[in-house]
Amino acid sequence: MPRVPERHYQRRSMAAVVVYVAIVMLARAPAREATSLPLQMLYALLPVVPMIYVIWLLAQRIRASDELEQRTHLIGLGVATGVVAIISLIGGFLAAGKILSLQGAASFLLFIFPLLLLVYTATRAWVARRYGIDALCDDDGVPAYQKFLIGALLLAAVAVWVWLKGAGDFELGMLAGMAAVLAVAALLFGLRRWRRRNARRVEP
């Protein structure tokens, strides 16, 4: 399979995440208000579609990677699968023991996929560093600071939407906190990029 620029996958993944957030926000009310069960299920499961697309993109990306990249991807996915499996098991036992309510278990399950992606990204970056690769700053990818900035803006938009809908302080605080963390990460990666560019300019 011919190599495809990282930018190609990253732009599509980010677009899919934006679509996902939009669907989650827009399909929530119709899912509750729909009168027939099939329609209710359709609205409830609509956010899964962009996530299936993200998984398909990831598979395509791994297929088109070279052997070293595949190694880092597969170690990242292996560790992420292990972490998610253990956390799911803990959640399952807590729900079975009625320590966690069904509503709590459902919220728990919603965080499984983002957690998998987070652990996969972190592990891959850590493994890649051993080979002298900066996995967060691919040569031909979208710069890391831009990725964090988009994430921060997206979460901030959701936080505003949640605030307008009159949601609880916990939800609002969590979203605003995550947006702030991503904004700080964007700033730090932006500064690092700027310093590296300046250093390269100084070199003879």
Partner 1 sequence: MNNHLRALRAQRDWSQSDLAERLDVSRQTVNAIETGKYDPSLPLAFRIARLFRQPIESIFEPGKD
Which positions touch partner 1 (CB under 8 A)? 2-3, 65-69, 128, 130-134, 138-139
Q: Give the residue with the Cβ less far from partner 1, 17 or 136.
A: 136
Shortest Å distance, C-beta 49 to partner 1: 31
Shortest Å distance, C-beta 139 to partner 1: 5
- Burial letters 100-137, b for 16+ CB under 10 A, else e: beeeeeeebeeeeeebbbebbebbbbebbeeeebebbb
Shortest Å distance, C-beta 19 to partner 1: 28
Helix (H, G, I), strand (E, B) or coil at 1: coil
Shortest Å distance, C-beta 138 to partner 1: 8
Amino acid at 43: Y
Q: 3-state DSSP: the chain helix, strand, coil percent, rounded to 5? A: 80, 0, 20
Shortest Å distance, C-beta 81 to partner 1: 24
Which sign, positive or negative, has the C-alpha torsion 170, 176, 179, 184?
negative
Q: Give the residue with the Cβ less far from partner 1, 105 or 133.
A: 133
Q: Estimate to the nearest angstrom the gap between the alpha carbon of 129 and the chain centroid.
A: 21
Q: Give the residue with the Cβ less far from partner 1, 4 or 178.
A: 4
Shortest Å distance, C-beta 66 to partner 1: 4
Q: Give the residue with the Cβ less far from partner 1, 55 or 68.
A: 68
Q: Give the residue with the Cβ less far from partner 1, 10 or 65.
A: 65
- The residue behind tokens 């996969």 is 120
Residues 115, 146: Cα–Cα separation, whole Å:
21
Please report, for residues 72, 125, 128, the alpha-carbon distance to residue 132 in angstroms, rounded to integers and kept in the order given: 12, 10, 7
The answer to whether the beta carbons of residues 91 and 108 sit under 8 Å apart is: yes
Q: Give the residue with the Cβ less far from partner 1, 49 or 68.
A: 68
